[in-house]
């Protein structure tokens, strides 16, 4: 896959924001992480002071995974469809919080194990990669063509949102069993042993944890010959949602649009997106520190510091939604706080 080079966030706007914070009528460093957020936003927007994000958009990518049949989740496979219904009914956590942050939510079926008309009578096959992904401990998740199509769908989704005016993107996911392939991908990219990447995901008990460990071990054995090929990793041990999210994250960076990362599935996709489009990470902010051990590896590998430590294990964007108001506050602080000169202190 040939991609254009990622353009770095605006250095001049970053410098102007840093200088502006030093001029405010507050002690040096007194605004802590809020100042850092303002600087990040200014660089991403290419202007100082930055504008408070006004058109934040949560994109929830939904898909099922064949590995769920191995008992790696606390839920059965049909629960994904109910999770999608809850997002659309505005009763899922992310859909409850997003309006508080002034963000809108869109859910996209890229690989649910159901017929399209069972999910949404108005839906089409435009975003569908396949009906469920393969069981990765014994078979490939996708074909090569499906992998390419999924990445392109993700890029198309990012383009649609940016073209519609989105100024902050929050990729998210729902899908029973999705943290298992995500953990495999993280282990493959970072060279980590299976036991070090396995978390509790959907709230699994010890027996399910052991089944998940076995599934990750077997899938990682299949993934290891492809550690230097992100697309092959997505094909062999990823899934429709992970491939779509990879395309989404890299295209957002190519379109110079800031992104809030949250959840292990999104984190694993971002890891691969930065492999495909080096420098994409400069457009991303990790919303909150996930208790999933594999997400800690993602954060360390990308060199990004989580904004919050909420212990949220959901992948639906709930944690990211909580950070949007902080970015809005950071932008307003930079634009509206009095300077020392304003108060005659300079």
Q: Kindly list the structural domains of the chain, giving each domain's residue range(s) and its CATH number in brackets, ordered by start.
A: 56-323 (3.40.50.10210)
Q: For residues 145 and 23, what is the distance between their CA atoms, to the nearest angstrom?
A: 54
**227 by DSSP, 3-state: which?**
coil
Per-position b or e across 191-204, b if 16+ CB within 10 A of its CB: ebebeebbbbbbeb
Whether the pTM exceeds 0.85: the reply is yes
Provide the pLDDT for residue 122: 41
pLDDT tens for residues 178-225?
Answer: 999 999 999 999 999 999 999 887 788 989 889 999 999 999 999 999
Provide the pLDDT for residue 121: 41
List residues bridging with 57 in a β-sheet. Answer: 104, 169
Report yes or no: 16 and 301 within 8 Å, Cβ to Cβ: no
Distance of CA 232 to the CA centre of its chain: 20
Cα dihedral value 43, 46, 50, 51, nearest 10: -130
Q: Considering the chain, what percentage of its residues have pLDDT values greater than 90?
A: 88
Q: For residues 80 and 225, what is the distance between their CA atoms, to the nearest angstrom?
A: 31
Provide the pLDDT for residue 117: 57
pLDDT tens for residues 72-100?
Answer: 988 877 899 999 999 999 999 999 999 99
Average pLDDT estimate for 17-25: 94
């Amino acid at each position: 896959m040939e991609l254009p080079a990622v353009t770095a966030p605006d250095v001049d706007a970053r410098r102007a924001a840093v200088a502006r914070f030093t001029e405010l009528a507050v002690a040096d460093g007194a605004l802590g992480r809020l100042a850092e957020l303002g600087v990040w936003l200014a660089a991403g927007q290419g202007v100082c002071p930055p504008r408070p994000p006004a058109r934040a958009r949560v994109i929830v990518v939904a898909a099922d995974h064949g590995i769920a049949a191995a008992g790696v989740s606390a839920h059965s496979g049909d629960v994904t469809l109910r999770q999608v219904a809850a997002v659309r009914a505005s009763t899922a956590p992310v859909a409850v919080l997003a309006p508080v942050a002034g963000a809108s939510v869109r859910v996209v079926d890229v690989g649910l194990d159901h017929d399209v008309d069972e999910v949404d009578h108005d839906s089409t096959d435009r975003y569908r990669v396949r009906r469920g992904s393969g069981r990765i401990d014994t078979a490939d998740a996708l074909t090569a063509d499906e992998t390419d199509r999924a990445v392109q769908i993700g890029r198309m989704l990012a383009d649609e949102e940016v073209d519609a005016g989105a100024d902050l993107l929050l990729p998210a996911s729902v899908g029973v069993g999705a943290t298992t392939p995500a953990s495999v991908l993280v282990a493959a990219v970072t060279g980590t042993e299976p036991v070090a990447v396995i978390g509790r995901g959907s709230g699994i008990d010890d027996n399910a944890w052991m089944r998940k460990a076995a599934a990750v071990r077997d899938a990682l054995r299949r993934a290891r010959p492809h550690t230097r090929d992100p697309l092959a990793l997505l094909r062999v041990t990823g899934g429709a949602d992970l491939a779509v999210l990879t395309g989404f994250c890299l295209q957002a960076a190519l379109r110079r649009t800031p992104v809030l990362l949250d959840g292990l599935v999104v984190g694993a996709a971002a890891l691969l997106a930065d492999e495909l489009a080096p420098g994409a990470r400069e457009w991303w902010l990790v919303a909150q520190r996930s208790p999933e051990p594999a997400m800690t590896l993602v954060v360390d590998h990308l060199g990004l510091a989580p904004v919050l430590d909420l212990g949220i294990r959901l992948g639906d964007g709930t944690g990211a939604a909580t950070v949007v108001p902080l970015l809005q506050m950071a932008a307003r602080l930079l634009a509206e706080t009095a300077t020392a000169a304003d108060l005659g202190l300079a």
